[in-house]
Amino acid sequence: MTLVETLLVFAAIPLAIYGVVALLTLREKFAKAPRYRPGQEWAHEPVWWTANPAGLGPAHAAASHHAPETGADLPRTAKGGARGGW
C-alpha cells in the first residue's frame, strides 16, 4: 500500500464524510428566507390580536366566538385541576 493510498483511506474519505454531514446540517440555514431582526424595517401589514374580543367594539364582538365567561356554564366532568377566582 503506497503513501497516497494510505492518505486517501485514512484522511480523505473521513474528511469527505464529515464534509457531507456538515453540508446536510447547514442546508436548512441557507434554504430559508431571511428572518426579521429587531431594528429592521417591517415591510408587512400589521396583524392585530386581542385576548378580549369584546373590547374591540360592537362590530368585532358580534362576529367573534369565545368561551363562556363563568365556570357555572361549564359541565363538571373533570377531576382535579387548578381553579381560582379573579
- Please count the structural domains in the chain: 1
C-alpha cell at 66: 369565545
Q: Which domain holds residue 21?
A: 1-31
Tell me the per-residue pLDDT of 18-70, one tens digit each, with 9 for 90 and over: 999 998 888 877 777 777 888 888 888 887 777 776 766 665 544 545 555 55
The span from the CA of 2 to the CA of 77, in Å, is 78
Contact of 60 with 53, CB cutoff 8 Å: yes
3 is a domain residue: yes
82 is a domain residue: no
Q: Is the pLDDT of residue 77 over 70?
A: no
Q: What is the pTM of this model?
A: 0.35
The span from the CA of 24 to the CA of 18, in Å, is 10
The span from the CA of 63 to the CA of 15, in Å, is 61
Confidence of residue 11 (pLDDT cuts 50, 70, 90): very high
